[in-house]
């Protein structure tokens, strides 16, 4: 209501503790995305052919354990068709990447679940906050199931995982990251009647659009990774001498090209990068020209521009070098940072709308 003053913006000790916990878990999720990228780029994801949510946390401890794990790997198509000459040392190298990825997932579950139970037991959480956090916990558990669902796709008829399932797995990881950051910021910056943000300004609309486009770009990037489309065209700004590849969109029905045609997949990923670049620049000028703008929002808009520009540059660098492992990992990890920056910018814009609505 007009004339209503915003609630005290200084978070309490409990609020700061909750927010720091959530941001810490968000940091672990970023690390998980980085390790997941390394696991994929080193072709390690199929080295563990079983899913044991609890006992799987224990790696092979004896030579007999390693031989048993190696024998199970020898039964899948990746070994028979791609890695039939791999040694035990080579197997251990890829095993440790996949084990580390799964162990980090378990650790994140504990890092979120145990403090959540503590805050519940000490009545630190409001009912609405507890429900939101419980939803994130359920989504995290589902992500573990999705991870195994992805691995299963490469154990029988394929030598790699399905790009569809990879896209689902990576996208859910980014959604979890965004939710953790958003809720943490809500806890740190409470505003009276925060639900009144249904009135969205142009600034908020553009900020939300950026987050949505970045999430879509994550999906497109996952298909690039899952089909190894990044290796097919390693020139820029053209694609092997053509602006629009002549062999693009050859599959039928047409929609299969979006997910299975390598030329179309990489072209779409490039095109979305250009679209996002234009949108973040428009967003910056919208913020700059908005009446009663706040310095923090302008700074945030600049940060979004710089983050996206650096990610585009990193993507081009990675492409021109035919996706080396180090640059590929950096590109995926920085994507998570860019997404986090964009989520924070959207939260700032939405909060600005709420404050203006309350103060009239």
How much is the pLDDT for 4?
Answer: 41
How much is the pLDDT for 308?
Answer: 98
> Does residue 268 have a pLDDT over 60?
yes
How much is the pLDDT for 2?
Answer: 41
Between CA 117 and CA 217 the distance in angstroms is 35
How much is the pLDDT for 6?
Answer: 43
How much is the pLDDT for 358?
Answer: 57
190 confidence band (pLDDT: 50, 70, 90): low
> Does residue 239 have a pLDDT over 70?
yes
Q: What is the mean pLDDT of residues 290-307?
A: 88
Between CA 167 and CA 276 the distance in angstroms is 19
How much is the pLDDT for 5?
Answer: 41
How much is the pLDDT for 356?
Answer: 64
């Amino acid at each position: 209501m007009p004339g209503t003053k915003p609630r005290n913006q200084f978070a309490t000790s409990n609020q700061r503790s909750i927010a720091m916990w959530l941001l810490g878990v968000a940091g672990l999720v970023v690390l998980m995305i980085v390790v997941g990228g390394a696991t994929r780029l080193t072709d390690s994801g199929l080295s563990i052919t079983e899913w044991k949510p609890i006992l799987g946390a224990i790696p092979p401890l004896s030579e007999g354990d390693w031989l048993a794990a190696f024998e199970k790997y020898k039964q899948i198509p990746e070994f028979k068709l791609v890695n039939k000459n791999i040694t035990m040392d080579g197997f251990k190298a890829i095993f440790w990447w996949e084990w580390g990825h799964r162990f980090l997932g378990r650790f994140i579950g504990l890092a979120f679940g145990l403090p959540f139970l503590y805050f519940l037991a000490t009545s630190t959480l409001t009912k609405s906050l507890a429900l939101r956090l419980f939803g994130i916990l359920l989504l995290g558990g589902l992500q573990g199931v999705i991870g195994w669902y992805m691995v299963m796709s490469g154990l029988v008829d394929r030598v790699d995982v399905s790009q569809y399932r990879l896209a689902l797995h990576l996208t859910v990881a980014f959604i979890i990251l965004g939710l953790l950051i958003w809720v943490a910021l809500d806890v740190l910056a409470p505003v009276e009647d925060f639900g009144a943000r249904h009135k969205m300004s142009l600034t908020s609309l553009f900020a939300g659009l950026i987050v949505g486009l970045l999430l879509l770009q994550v999906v497109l990037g996952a298909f690039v990774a899952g089909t190894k489309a990044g290796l097919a065209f390693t020139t820029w700004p053209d694609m092997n001498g053509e602006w629009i590849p002549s062999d693009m969109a050859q599959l039928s029905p047409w929609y299969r090209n979006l997910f299975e045609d390598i030329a179309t997949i990489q072209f779409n990923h490039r095109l979305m990068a250009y679209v996002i670049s234009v949108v973040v620049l428009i967003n910056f000028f919208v913020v700059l020209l908005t009446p009663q703008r706040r310095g923090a929002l302008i700074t945030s808009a600049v940060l979004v521009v710089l983050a996206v520009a650096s990610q585009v540059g990193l993507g081009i660098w990675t492409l021109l070098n035919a996706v080396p492992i180090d640059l590929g990992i950096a590109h995926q990890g920085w994507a998570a940072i860019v997404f986090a920056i964009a989520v924070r910018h959207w939260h700032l814009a939405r909060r600005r709308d709420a404050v203006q609505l309350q103060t009239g």
